[in-house]
């Protein structure tokens, strides 16, 4: 029986030699260099993995595994199952080949004799994916390649190459993908039972758990471990259905940024993110949102930027499993900005010399006539403070003074300046947004907001942000993670002056003034850091979003808290929702950790730029305490006196040119028009409606609506006209 088998083996060799390929056989290092995992990885600035992303969905491959990192039990199981004389033959097991050929020739049970080396040769051949049995010519060619492979590669290299390139089950290719996908562990941790199951899959990758368990038991017997067969079929059933699978080892610390940056299988992209800071910021956000769960706050985002370089140091897009929409990236989502736009409004007013930090603005009820009706802004707190300085108005985030400032500036001028500061999402004209733009009715992203505050920190100079580390950026490692929606313009564009250094300094000084914001936030709040910082909070309509953005000399930190679905929160403001996270992240950045080698970072108040002067200031009457105040050169004053009430008096409501409709569904006697002044009336002042006097102006007064055109006049005690407006009342017929 041995002679025919040997003769056939020689015949195989005679045919195989002329069919041997002429191309140079790759080395193990060349094969490893061409091996591409199905995932891509986002790395921190120090090389630590932050997140992984599956790119190739046709096959599942993990990073190459070296032979010393593979369980010896698995290596033994594979050799016993696939090639018992692996260490003895020269790439082809001639004895097994001859016996198989003889048996097949005489019509016996078909059986192959491929060695591990021959199988590796087939895996290395270009376009050699198996589709059924190989033809005789393919077998002969594979035999010739195996002989060459055995001469050029060591046995250890052959084993390593085979175990990394072989398909085990379904999409799982390579020992690492199989081990993680089926058993939830890396290859070095596989025991004898798991190793036997893995080896059994090599011959029948898609076999049922019963067949896999039966074949694995036979392998265990060859390994002289027959006692391990008990329960093997059950283990196979659990493993093959994914019951042992676990999450990947790469922590999902920056999944949102990973999805924006990673585009190529096998890619390992270094980013500018700080791994420790990213982890801390995410934990801080989750901790505070968990405490706010009963107040219907489940989502949030954090962004940290280096002021000088523009490098993004942390990008936390959501609260993870606390959120019902964890896939939504809160860093780039567009949401109403709330009061966070006020600093840019006052910076423009200071730059244009419409205001100084000492200018008085009246915080009192206000009604403005707009093209869409009447607009009556209100403060966050249901009270008004009368005449306040611009410093107090901005630091305490008073709404009415901000709207009055925008009336003076003009919505168009403000919208254009916001665009220059990086808010490219404000694509409509200023008139489209109206006066509510002063209170942040426009949609912006946390990404845009952070860079705009960084612009203030840099003396009013805007420049793009950066997330990909290194200067040599290729298509596989893009410089910009996104360029539309909330990312528009953030990562591209030339550096430019958004505000003058002097105007940026004045606003920055106000945002750092804890005394000026004490009326709203108190002297001790989350914004009052022991080192120098400038910060602002904001809350959108119905408490749907709240923000906290601010900067130290080196870092800018911004936080958003809300709900991805836009649902309102319950009694959660910027200072109670976003500010605690902002403070914790800012503290982490500055306190340092000597044990880990992270130094402490100091932050002191910036020096004033050219064109800024400081003057001792007092108010008459003393509406605010005396102080040292900063001014643009040429606007300084040492005394701020309240204007005479005659100079301030004007009719606030109705507005000049207003059109008021009589509602046919409301009884006429119930439809009365309130008459309001912008200042407290002096004794003896009177209202005159058309030709008749209509009562005293120093007390609440209403007027019964009558169709037609009317003229309302404010008169002093001597009957002299102080102000007047004209308006129209129209009657609408009931249906």
Reduced to 3 states, what is the DSSP secondary structure of residue 662? strand
With a CB cutoff of 8 Å and minimum separation 6, the contacts of 155 are 86, 87
Q: How far apart are CA 440 and CA 433, in angstroms?
A: 10
Question: What pLDDT sits at residue 203?
Answer: 86
What ranges do the domains of the chain cover? 2-45+58-240, 278-596, 646-731
Question: What pLDDT sits at residue 426?
Answer: 96
Q: How far apart are CA 332 and CA 316, in angstroms?
A: 11
Q: For 276, how many CA atoms within 13 A lie in the half-sphere containing its CB?
A: 8
Question: What pLDDT sits at residue 469?
Answer: 81
Strands in 312-316's sheet, in edge-to-edge order, are: 312-316, 299-306, 555-562, 545-551, 534-539
Strand partners, 672: 704
CB 440 within 8 A of CB 452: no
Q: How far apart are CA 530 and CA 521, in angstroms?
A: 16
With a CB cutoff of 8 Å and minimum separation 6, the contacts of 432 are none
Alpha-carbon Rg for the chain, nearest whole angstrom, is 38
Question: What pLDDT sits at residue 238?
Answer: 92
Fold classified for 646-731: Immunoglobulin-like (2.60.40)
Q: How far apart are CA 343 and CA 308, in angstroms?
A: 21
DSSP string, 548-617: EEEE-SSEEEEEEEE-TT-PPPSS--TTTTTHHHHHHHHHHHHH-BGGGTB------PPPP-TTEEEEEE
Whole-prediction pTM: 0.80
CB 350 within 8 A of CB 509: no
CB 717 within 8 A of CB 685: yes
Burial of 361 (0-12, 13-18, 19+ CB in 10 A): buried
Q: How far apart are CA 497 and CA 529, in angstroms?
A: 29
Q: How far apart are CA 116 and CA 119, in angstroms?
A: 5
Q: Which token pair is 129?
A: 């994916």
- The separation between CA 629 and the C-alpha centre of its own chain, rounded to angstroms, equals 39
Residue 369: closest CA among 728, 654, 707: 654
- DSSP state at residue 501: H
Max intra-chain CA distance, the chain: 136
Question: What pLDDT sits at residue 112?
Answer: 52
Question: What pLDDT sits at residue 398?
Answer: 94
DSSP string, 183-199: ISS-GGG--HHHHHHHH
Answer whether CATH 3.20.20.140 is correct for domain 2-45+58-240.
no
Residue 529: closest CA among 592, 582, 594: 582
Reduced to 3 states, what is the DSSP secondary structure of residue 409? helix
Mean pLDDT by 10 residues, the chain (735 residues): 44 48 73 92 93 91 94 94 88 68 49 78 65 54 83 93 93 93 92 94 90 94 91 91 70 90 91 96 95 90 98 95 90 96 97 95 78 71 86 95 91 95 95 91 96 98 91 52 92 96 98 93 91 95 91 98 88 82 97 86 96 96 94 95 68 81 83 83 91 90 92 92 90 61
Answer whether CATH 3.40.50.10880 is correct for domain 278-596.
no
Strand partners, 724: 713
Residue 612: closest CA among 534, 511, 506: 506
Residue 340: closest CA among 420, 456, 434, 427: 456
């Amino acid at each position: 029986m041995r002679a025919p088998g040997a003769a056939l083996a020689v015949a195989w060799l005679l045919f195989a030699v002329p069919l041997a390929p002429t191309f140079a056989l790759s080395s193990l290092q060349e094969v490893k260099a061409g091996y591409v995992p199905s995932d891509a990885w986002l790395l921190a600035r120090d090389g630590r993995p932050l997140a992984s992303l599956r790119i190739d969905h046709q096959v599942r491959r993990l990073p190459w595994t070296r032979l010393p990192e593979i369980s010896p039990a698995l290596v033994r199981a594979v050799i016993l199952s696939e090639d018992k004389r692996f260490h003895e033959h020269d790439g082809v097991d001639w004895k097994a080949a001859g016996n198989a050929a003889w048996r097949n020739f005489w019509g016996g049970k078909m059986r192959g004799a491929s060695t591990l080396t021959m199988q590796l040769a087939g895996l290395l051949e270009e376009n050699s994916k198996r589709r059924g049995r190989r033809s005789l010519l393919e077998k002969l060619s594979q035999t010739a390649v195996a002989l060459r492979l055995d001469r050029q590669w060591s046995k250890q290299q052959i084993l390593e190459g085979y175990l990394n390139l072989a398909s085990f089950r379904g999409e799982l290719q390579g020992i690492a993908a199989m081990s993680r996908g089926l058993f939830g562990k890396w290859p070095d941790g596989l025991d004898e039972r798991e190793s036997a199951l893995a080896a059994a899959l090599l011959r029948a990758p898609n076999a049922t758990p019963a067949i896999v368990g039966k074949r694995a038991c036979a392998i265990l017997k060859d390994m002289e471990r027959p006692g391990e067969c008990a329960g093997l079929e059950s283990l196979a059933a659990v493993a093959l259905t994914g019951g042992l699978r676990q999450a990947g080892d790469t922590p999902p610390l920056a999944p949102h940024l990973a999805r924006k940056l990673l585009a190529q299988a096998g890619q390992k992209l270094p980013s500018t993110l700080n791994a420790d800071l990213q982890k801390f910021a995410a934990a801080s956000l989750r901790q505070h949102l968990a405490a706010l769960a009963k107040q219907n706050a489940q989502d949030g985002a954090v962004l940290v930027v280096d002021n000088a370089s523009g490098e993004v140091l942390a990008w936390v897009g959501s609260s993870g499993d606390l959120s019902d929409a964890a896939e939504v990236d809160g860093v780039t989502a567009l949401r109403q900005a709330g009061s966070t736009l006020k600093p840019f409004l006052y910076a423009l007013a200071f730059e244009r010399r419409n205001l100084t930090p000492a200018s008085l603005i009246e915080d009192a009820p206000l009604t403005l006539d707009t093209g869409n009706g009447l607009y009556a802004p209100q403060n966050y707190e249901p009270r008004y403070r009368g005449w306040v300085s611009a410093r107090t108005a901005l630091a305490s985030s008073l709404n009415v003074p901000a709207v009055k400032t925008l009336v003076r500036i003009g919505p168009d001028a403000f919208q254009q300046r916001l665009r220059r500061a990086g808010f490219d999402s404000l694509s409509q004209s200023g008139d489209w947004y109206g006066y509510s733009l002063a209170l942040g009715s426009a949609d912006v992203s946390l990404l845009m907001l952070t860079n705009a505050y960084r612009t203030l920190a840099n003396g009013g100079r805007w420049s793009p942000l950066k997330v990909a580390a290194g200067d040599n950026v290729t298509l596989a490692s893009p410089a910009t993670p996104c360029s539309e929606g909330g990312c528009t313009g953030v990562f591209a564009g030339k550096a430019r002056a958004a505000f003058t250094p002097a105007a940026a300094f004045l606003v920055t000084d106000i945002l750092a003034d804890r005394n000026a914001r004490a009326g709203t936030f108190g002297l001790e709040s989350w914004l009052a850091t022991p080192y120098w910082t400038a910060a602002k909070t904001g809350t959108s309509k119905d408490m749907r979003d709240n923000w906290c953005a601010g900067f130290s000399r080196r870092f800018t930190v911004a936080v958003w808290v809300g709900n991805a679905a836009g649902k309102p929160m319950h009694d959660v403001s910027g200072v109670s929702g976003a500010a605690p996270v902002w403070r914790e992240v800012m503290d982490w950045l500055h306190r340092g950790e000597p044990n880990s080698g992270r130094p402490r970072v100091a932050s002191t108040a910036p020096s004033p730029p050219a064109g800024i002067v400081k003057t001792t200031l007092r108010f008459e009457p003393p509406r605010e305490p005396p102080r040292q105040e900063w001014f643009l050169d040429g606007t300084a004053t040492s005394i701020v006196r309240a204007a005479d009430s005659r100079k301030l008096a004007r009719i606030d409501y109705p507005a000049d040119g207003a059109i008021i409709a009589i509602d046919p569904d409301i009884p006429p006697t119930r439809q009365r028009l309130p008459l309001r002044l912008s200042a407290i009336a002096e004794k003896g002042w009177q209202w005159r409606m058309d030709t008749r006097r209509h009562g005293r102006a120093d007390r609440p007064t209403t007027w019964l609506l009558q169709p037609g055109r009317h003229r309302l006049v404010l008169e002093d005690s001597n009957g002299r006209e102080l102000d007047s407006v004209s308006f129209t009342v129209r009657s609408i017929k009931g249906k």
